[in-house]
Structure 1
Amino acid sequence: MANYGYQGAYSTTNYGAQAGAQEGGGFMSGSQQGSQENSSKTYGQESLRPVTIKQIIDAQQPHPEAEFKIDGSDLTQISFIGQINSVTKRATNILYKLDDGTGLIEVMQWVNSDVDPDTVQPTAKEGEYLRIFGRLRSFNNKRSVTAHMIRPITDFNEVSYHLLEATAIHLYFVRGPPDSINDGGVKADPGTGMFVDSYDGAANGAMGASAKKLPAKMSAGAKTVFGLLQSAPQSNEGLHVHSIAAQLSMTSNDVFKAGDELLGEGLIYTTVDDETWAVLEY
């Protein structure tokens, strides 16, 4: 059983060779279809690691036939959570584009070509969150994930927990055991793209130094959202309300209230739509 020292934080999967050997799997139950893995692969050594999409995109692959690596360790099966950006249904597969606030990745789910996907799978809609179990692939220098299991997120706390877990495991590899860390402070971790507070890996929106300069009348929620918008990795479009809520463990309603305050003060502005915000630079 593979154990990388972080209190069993990620190890071999309970579906092992059966799930790993087939690149299929339906939304919820579904069907399986795909290519057989190399028969010489030792499935007993496989691990399941929680990651962020940024880690997937930044994973290293020494050569085309080699395993991907994150933090110098082989990456076999991965698990991550993302919000559906788009869904494309095809005859043999469904292609999801998922965003977790740190990046965007395509996820392919194979389906049985003899069965109508609509008859065996619930409809996954844009804006919903999914938990993905699968493998990282690269074709023509483009990264994607082949999923062997996909399930919807029913408890929003799972989103925050996953980001915390992925960050904590990354920090274990790059900084060592928790007792060896004593640098303090809130900062954006370059490995996962998440906010971290010392080693604890607390993916949170604690306001940075610049957020303390906000008007005294501003609510704590607004200050927290502003701190995240200033410090979190993001595209030129800024961050969507759902991404902010996920990273801060806030409800969307509370994020909207905070956004209204910040918009009213002229501190942030809307970008691609009314629910995507960026800090107004002076």
Structure 2
Amino acid sequence: MSMYYYGYNAGGYTTTSYGAQGGADGGGFLGGSQAGSQDTPGGTKRYGQDTLRPVTIKQLLDAVFPYPDAEAKVDGTSLTQVDLVGRVSTVSAQATNTTYKIDDGTGVIEVKQWVDGDAPPELQKYTPKEGDYVHVWGKLKEFNNRRHVGSHVIHPITDFNEISYHLLHATAVHLYFTRGPLGGANGAAVKSEGQGMFVDGGYGATNGAPGAVGKKLPPRISPIARKVYEFLQSTPQNNEGLHVHNISHQLNIPANEVFKAGDELLGEGLIYTTLDDETWAVLEY
């Protein structure tokens, strides 16, 4: 299935494709451009106009459906296919599909993965379990005022850099649509109300954005704990904070040393746990 991928840097789109196993609304395969076609109010079809956009879950929850069965809109732009990352909090298996609740720190949404019992073993889908971090490609749907993403593809995240990259990519695309191309005449445009990316609704809201000024650390704090604190303070992130393994990988410090540093910082009231005991954020007063 071919589709356009948002290219914010050049003010246009680049073409890409991926093999989609299973539809967003049922089992089986989607083939050709018809797979992504949508009815318009006039009853005509739009072929070959699919787009794939990186988003946060809050953007999906705040998206606007102009009319029933229409494509959702974020920042005034239609969403055909979406691209999100997050942590699986619950798994619910049914006869025809498995529903995952995905949390990315900005919100929680259900992702449905349809069962394809006829697929050969080499094409069997990856099935996430609770606690897994995943990358999802699919379509946002709304039924009875409840929203879910019908997944085309779900991949496990093994490199936590992928989470940071996704959030940066989603931010860049959001700014492209709300403020115009980099260096363009619309650089001072104001974002649409209700179309923020993060929990507080700010277009670039982060915990510990680059350049944030942190509190003075007590002299008893160890050098590694200082390094971890400074990393948490200066690294772009959402309200979920950062996982221990991500910190360990980025700083090239063994995970057990990061855990010790975290215990120091938690004991001093400098950081707090968010999703679980291994995900931390800076405590700001």
TM-score (norm 1): 0.70
Q: Match of 2:84?
A: 80
1:37-48 matches, cutoff 5 A: 38=38, 40-48=44-52
Q: Answer 1 or 2: which has greater helix percent.
A: 1
Residues 80 and 132, structure 1, Cα contact 8 Å, conserved in 2: yes
Structure 1 residue 267 corresponds to structure 2 residue 270: yes
2:166 counterpart residue number? 162
**Which residue is 2:259 aligned to?**
256
Summarize the Cα distance change of 1:258–1:63 in structure 2 as closer, same or farther, 3 Å threshold.
farther
TM alignment of 1:103-122, pairs within 5 A: 103-112=107-116, 120-122=124-126
Distance 2:243 2:130 in 1: 12
SS at match of 2:17: coil
Q: Does 1:151 align with 2:158?
A: no
CA RMSD, 1 decimal: 4.4
Matches of 1:263 and 1:225, distance apart in 2? 13
- d(CA) in 2 for partners of 1:123 and 1:12? 28
**Native 8 Å contact 1:83 1:98 kept in 2:** yes
- What is residue 144 of structure 2 aligned with on the other side? 140
Deviation at 1:154, TM superposition (A): 3.3
* In structure 2, C-alpha distance between the alignment counterparts of 1:158 and 1:271, rounded to whole Å: 20
Match of 2:229 among 201, 222, 237: 222
Structure 2, gaps ≥5 residues long:
189-194
3-state DSSP class of the match of 1:172? Answer: helix
The TM-score normalised by the length of structure 2 is 0.69
Whole-angstrom CA distance in 2 between matches of 1:242 and 1:204: 14
Q: State how many pairs are aligned.
A: 256
Measured after TM superposition, the shift of residue 177 of structure 1 is: 1.9
Counterpart CA distance in 1 for 2:228 and 2:22 is: 46
CA contact (8 A) 1:32 1:110 kept: no
* One-letter identity of the residue aligned with 2:198: G
Q: How far apart are the structure 1 equivalents of 2:119 and 2:7?
A: 43
Pairwise CA distance, 1:52: 1.3
